[in-house]
Chain A
């Protein structure tokens, strides 16, 4: 049983590479964007279509987004995606947003782990 998670993140939140994700015992789909504000609801849903059990959207901390409100926009998109998931009968907690310090892979990886735990929980339920 392989578990897949999706990560949509702003380019500036982390520098995690293959070596970091090796610690996650499943498949990780990573999509990087120049700013998390660019992430649309449909991008999130597409990631579920690709097989992700849970999706993490990560953006910079509110005051440090250098497009000023990029990460706040992304947070709203996540709420939107959550609504749609619930409408079609999936758990809203499958998608979550995290404000992360810029270029610090440590906290980012902690969030990735949390997302993976959620994914495991979802998988075992279904």
Chain B
């Protein structure tokens, strides 16, 4: 959020609505109505005086109506823009022309009641709609006692309740009597998978967030007993199954498979009745019931659809096709939950994908009107001074200040040698605090900065940029992580935590005094991309990059393009996959900027972001290409399970093989009357530990297709959890309505396929009957899941990390879902993890968007924290070359001697090389031995001695 707020190329209009859109793609005119804020965000310093003095109470919508706030307010401290606003509906002046207290208390005179609604016409080339999701209507919640019994809360309310900046400062209290609840129940599928409230679809995210909230509740209140009531456990994302099981085990959560019909109150507690799988009726009392509410279409979706002339699906979400999940109509794109319920990683991916769509459309005018951020030249004179350290201690709201005595830490810091200024900040990362940092640097001529706050992993770049804006080298800041490493872990002992924070600050100051400026380098980029894999993902990514105006080399190891999609005959969305495939191939082959190499493999890739050189092995020759980025779309394959008589009996096939039979119509199925499908054959704990995400919808889709061909035929689907998430739930419902029989099996008693005479039978244990059943089958269809290729040679060459399952690991699940830890390498499609076609296509576009960033920029800025080799010391042993996980060190010949050389552009600053160098020839910028030793010495320095040193220093001065 802060990053978007700081970009000079993004203008944020808050309190604004698009009233009208006219024109054509590439040249739209949008009429935007901006509601008055009554506070000038340019002048507002977010001091909070107006809110403190505002006499008018208002219900705090941000805190889910659990608390009160004022008419003049800011929803939360990190809001962008960091400026207060005045609630039109509550303000006394705007409604009754009285009060005006805020105008008098506001220091910078930012309050302006003369503001009127403003209408602006914007010229834009494309529009991306991301209105998010809406709330479940109260009627749907009422049957669970919400609004009737105070102790029935929604998951969103619990989220606020657990938040340290929430109404109870993180204490879990039940609303009726403010006591600590001992027994807590989570009810899933509230406002989803429920026809009675018009929301038959699955909201996809609730299973996972419920387990997250339950885990966090346990952290806040370890004595609470938590029970979660599921229908199906739908944790189908990458690594979600493992996370779910970990949480259940670690926090001792109880998981019950039952749907709760209603909630009733008896004597201050809440009673739940439910039927478990064995048919027994249970009744239990709880202190607090949490409703895991689903995602609805955003409020006002119809109005939005009318204004933009787009179509909605029956549930009010944006209607898109599987072939192009991001486009609503030319020039109009969609991302996030408005396209359908989805989690954060997928939303982020779609957002990047939509950005790629926009870049394709507007490729010609790229960089026109763009503003590049410039920094003032570094202040040489200031640098040459003795270290003048400024220490800032962050409250982080109550995250830090709630435990640590921030004032004492600040006072202590002021006594440390070299410190000329010390202060506290409520949120040092907020826009106004950064402004203040700049001012203080100038005022006190600081040339080293210590920020005692949170993790440098997330926030150091922000402070580095601030330093640059103030004319200082970005390497001159040091962070002391007194939040994660102190306040959070020592919440139970404030006194000791405060002392530890002092230690941390003393160490950081000691290191800061030894910090040296580092040079920023720029490296030129070859404006071409290498896409490895010619499946749906690879082709889409290649097309997108090429449409954005860059050369693409597309490498496919098979004889023809298409990958796994060649074998898919039907789509759950109803579209024809072969037509989508043909279109893609045609466009790829015709595109002047795409070079296709079929029957080719990548033999070697050398270089680093911006300057890769690859050797491709073609049928007869090998070819060398230069490119700036790599997109991995290497795909995956259908798993081949052990057991289930697969390969032994012709009557046992996989879903893709079954699909092939179905596509031949009735004649392929002449003697097939009864089909038994087995889900998770080989997945989820058998040979593959994870969920393959797409098999459930694939099974339901094929079952429906079979029913269509043979309405009198029988289909049994044996499953663990039906994971037909999102709108695929509709297919599941339809399948049940058409008479497909769904039987759940226990993971410890998986179904067996046995031969009997000439036929096969499937044995399954039924929990309700409590006995084993045998189903004679004409055809057994195994949902086998997706398996990563045993070897991913390209990933190995690039040294990209893989998950234990063999899929390519992304750099950050939420923030960088298509980027890989190695710079300039991106991933999409099945290589990243199992997913259906629509998600693959969106992700391919996301990878294309990210890959185009360095290509469009023309240069990459190298992170300054890189290794440096002192050539005179280097003995050329090559240990560092072998160890470097990023291929950032190479051996060169200097005067006939081998020497190591760091490729700065590829170096990630991990320090492995420096730690292993036998002759100490390698040092890491920002982490010199000298500075680290000084830091360790400062840790050992008793406080008394520290003080005497200061006194001496003062005397000397």
Contact = CB atoms under 8 A, between A and B. Distances in A.
A116 to B, nearest CB: 13
Interface string B279-300: 0000111000000000000000
A109 B283 contact: no
Nearest to A18: B283
Contacts of A103: 262, 264
Given A19-B285, A20-B285, A105 B262 contact: no
Interface in B218-269: 262, 264-267
B271 interface: yes
A98 to B, nearest CB: 15
B146 to A, nearest CB: 15
A23 B283 contact: no
Contact of A104 (B264, B283, B285): B264
Contacts of A109: 266-267
B267 A23 contact: yes
A17 B264 contact: no
A106 interface: yes
Contacts of A17: 283
Nearest to B148: A106
A44 B264 CA distance: 28
B928 interface: no
Nearest to B265: A106
Interface string B284-319: 110000000000000000000000000000000000
A16 B262 contact: no
B950 interface: no
Nearest to A106: B265
B284 A15 contact: no
A91 B273 CA distance: 37
Interface string A15-53: 111011001000000000000000000000000000000
Contacts of A16: 266, 271, 283
Contacts of A105: 264, 266, 271
* Size class of the contact patch on chain B: 10 to 19
Contacts of B262: 103
* Size class of the contact patch on chain A: 10 to 19
Nearest to B268: A23
A109 B266 CA distance: 7
Nearest to A22: B285
B284 A106 contact: no
Nearest to A113: B267
Contacts of A108: 266
Contacts of B283: 15-17, 19-20
Nearest to B262: A103
Interface in A84-125: 103-106, 108-109
A105 B262 CA distance: 11
A100 to B, nearest CB: 12
B285 A106 contact: no
A105 B264 CA distance: 6
A19 B265 CA distance: 13
A39 B940 CA distance: 84
Nearest to A24: B267
A60 to B, nearest CB: 15
A17 B319 CA distance: 48
Contacts of B285: 19-20
A100 B892 CA distance: 89
| Candidate in B262, B264, B273 with the most chain A CB atoms within 10 angstroms | B264
Contacts of B273: 15
A17 B273 CA distance: 10
A1 B829 CA distance: 74
B267 A15 contact: no
Nearest to B272: A15
Nearest to B149: A106
A125 B264 CA distance: 35
A16 B271 CA distance: 8
A23 to B, nearest CB: 6
A54 B649 CA distance: 70
Contacts of A15: 264, 271, 273, 283
Contacts of B265: 106
A103 B274 CA distance: 13
A103 B262 CA distance: 9
Contacts of A106: 264-266, 271
A41 B494 CA distance: 69
Contacts of B266: 16, 20, 23, 105-106, 108-109
A41 B930 CA distance: 96
A12 to B, nearest CB: 12
Contacts of A23: 266-267
A106 B263 CA distance: 10
A15 B283 CA distance: 7
A99 to B, nearest CB: 17
A84 to B, nearest CB: 32
A51 B267 CA distance: 26
A23 B283 CA distance: 15
A15 B285 CA distance: 11
A111 B262 CA distance: 21
B145 to A, nearest CB: 10
A16 to B, nearest CB: 7
Nearest to B145: A106
A14 B262 CA distance: 12
Interface in B582-612: none
A20 B284 CA distance: 9
B532 to A, nearest CB: 60
A56 to B, nearest CB: 15
Interface string A55-70: 0000000000000000
Contacts of B264: 15, 103-106
A92 to B, nearest CB: 28
A23 B265 CA distance: 14
Nearest to B285: A19
A60 B262 CA distance: 18
A109 B285 CA distance: 13
| Candidate in B266, B267, B283, B284 with the most chain A CB atoms within 10 angstroms | B266
Nearest to A19: B285
A15 B281 CA distance: 10
Nearest to B283: A17
A15 B266 CA distance: 11
Interface in B626-669: none
Nearest to B273: A15
B461 to A, nearest CB: 55
Interface string B498-516: 0000000000000000000
Nearest to A112: B266
A74 B284 CA distance: 29
A8 to B, nearest CB: 19
B271 to A, nearest CB: 5
Contacts of B284: 19
A75 B265 CA distance: 26
Nearest to A20: B266
B266 to A, nearest CB: 5
B388 to A, nearest CB: 68
Interface string A76-89: 00000000000000
A19 B273 CA distance: 12
A110 to B, nearest CB: 9
A108 to B, nearest CB: 8
A106 B262 CA distance: 12
A85 to B, nearest CB: 29
A15 B262 CA distance: 11
A103 B285 CA distance: 15
Given A17-B283, A105-B264, 12 more contacts: A15-B283, A16-B271, A16-B283, A20-B266, A20-B267, A20-B285, A23-B267, A103-B262, A104-B264, A106-B264, A106-B266, A106-B271
25 contacts: A15-B264, A15-B271, A15-B273, A15-B283, A16-B266, A19-B283, A19-B284, A19-B285, A20-B266, A20-B267, A20-B271, A20-B283, A20-B285, A23-B266, A23-B267, A103-B262, A104-B264, A105-B266, A105-B271, A106-B264, A106-B265, A106-B266, A108-B266, A109-B266, A109-B267
Instruction: In the A-B complex, list the 8 residue pairs whose CB atoms are closest, starting with the nearest.
Output: A17-B283, A15-B273, A109-B266, A106-B265, A105-B264, A105-B266, A19-B285, A105-B271
